[in-house]
A and B are shown apart, each in its own frame.
Chain A
Amino acid sequence: MGRPVRVYEPLWFDHQFRKDLKKLPKPQQELRLQEISTLALVLADCRHPTHDPSLAAWKPSAYHVPRVPPEVRLCEYRCSYPLRVIVRWVEPSQTEPEGAVLLVSATLSHDHQRLKEILGSHRTGLKEWS
């Protein structure tokens, strides 16, 4: 086993994620969970949270959020669209001698349906819209 993979319980699989996931057909649900599971295990063994070639498929990038302390290193992973996963990479320390991977949040809501609907209403209000 590589570094431990843990879950930040207050945010992981929150209400919205569960709702979005359960809208999918069962096989799709399992595929999404399987992908997160694979990602978690690759993170447990990789050398770097964004530059390790084993993570390339997830197009990792640093993830900086206002008000989060600089020592909290967050990364974003792009799974099969529209699934995204946010992870905290914990370097080895006295309290975490092996380091850790903390799964922080997952989101499936990137289809912008609401945005499109609102914009659609603007469009219909314009006589010259072609």
Chain B
Amino acid sequence: MDKSEVKRGMSPKLRAVLARLCERLGPLFSTQAVKLPYLVDVVARHLLGHTIADGTYQTWEHGVVTKEVFRFVKHEAISDPVFRVEPHSYSESGKRVSLAGGSEIVSILSPEELAVVDFVADEYGHVAPEQLGYLTKRLNTEIPAETWGTNASAAVTEETFLRLNPEWQNVCERISEEDLNDRTKWSDPINADPMAYFMRSLNG
């Protein structure tokens, strides 16, 4: 059976992660609420050797989405004791998630886990929602364009973590912006002596 069929609702740890993100950042747009837990687990897996939120991460049209958070925001938030979900004026379908009361549930996170969540909040909590979507796509460069929007599984691996590197993200972004079909920007063939070409490029 598919993992996503087994899971129901947000786990206590996922709720704690979401609560901590709200504590740290204030009200979250739904895009942030569904994407930041993914980044938390990408970082946690590398640094702690295990995931924290352990959500079901899927390849939606605009990037990776934590399925349980999406379902909660869309259908399950009414009368929740911890979270308040409200529509916001910036988009017809968008919502905002904030803490309704106390955030005691955060205490189930260990200090190490808390540090990872805070790191993600501080580093990625202020990235524009659209850019957050692109960022999660750039963490999954093996996934072809047509797979985004099919709710396939997104990776939480060492490779995913490596791609969080700012320089790596920068390389991806620059490739996105270039017209690789523009042959005026292609060099002549370098087959005869690539090493010599590279040395010249390096010193030129």
Contact = CB atoms under 8 A, between A and B. Distances in A.
Interface of A: 1-2, 4-14, 16, 18, 21-22, 29, 33-34, 36-37, 40-41, 44, 61-70, 72, 74, 76, 84, 86, 88, 95, 100, 102, 104-105, 107, 109-110, 112, 114-115, 118-119, 122-123, 125-126, 128-130
Contacts of B172: 65
Contact of A1 (B47, B164, B168, B191): B191
A66 B47 CA distance: 27
Contact of A119 (B119, B146, B183): B119
Interface of B: 43, 47, 111-112, 114-116, 118-119, 122-123, 134, 137-138, 141-146, 161-162, 164-168, 170-172, 174-178, 180-181, 183, 185-192, 194-195, 197-199, 201-202
A9 B171 contact: no
B176 A129 contact: no
Contact of B115 (A66, A109, A119): A119
Given A6-B186, A7-B190, A62-B142, A128 B111 contact: yes
Given A4-B189, A105-B174, 8 more contacts: A6-B186, A6-B190, A16-B170, A36-B198, A112-B161, A112-B164, A122-B119, A129-B115
Interface of B is mostly: helix
Contacts, number: 152
B19 to A, nearest CB: 17
A107 B167 contact: yes
Contacts of B198: 13, 33, 36-37
Contacts of A115: 164-165
Contacts of A69: 181
A122 B111 CA distance: 10
B145 to A, nearest CB: 6
B191 A65 contact: no
B141 A76 contact: yes
Contact of A118 (B123, B178, B185, B187): B123
Given A61-B142, A63-B141, A107-B167, A6 B175 contact: no
A14 B185 CA distance: 14
B13 to A, nearest CB: 18
B178 A10 contact: yes
23 contacts: A1-B189, A6-B189, A8-B180, A11-B175, A12-B187, A13-B201, A36-B198, A37-B194, A40-B190, A65-B138, A65-B176, A66-B138, A66-B145, A67-B177, A68-B180, A86-B175, A104-B180, A105-B175, A107-B167, A107-B171, A110-B162, A119-B115, A122-B122
Given A6-B188, A11-B175, A122 B115 contact: yes
B144 A62 contact: yes
Contacts of B191: 1-2, 4-5, 40-41, 44
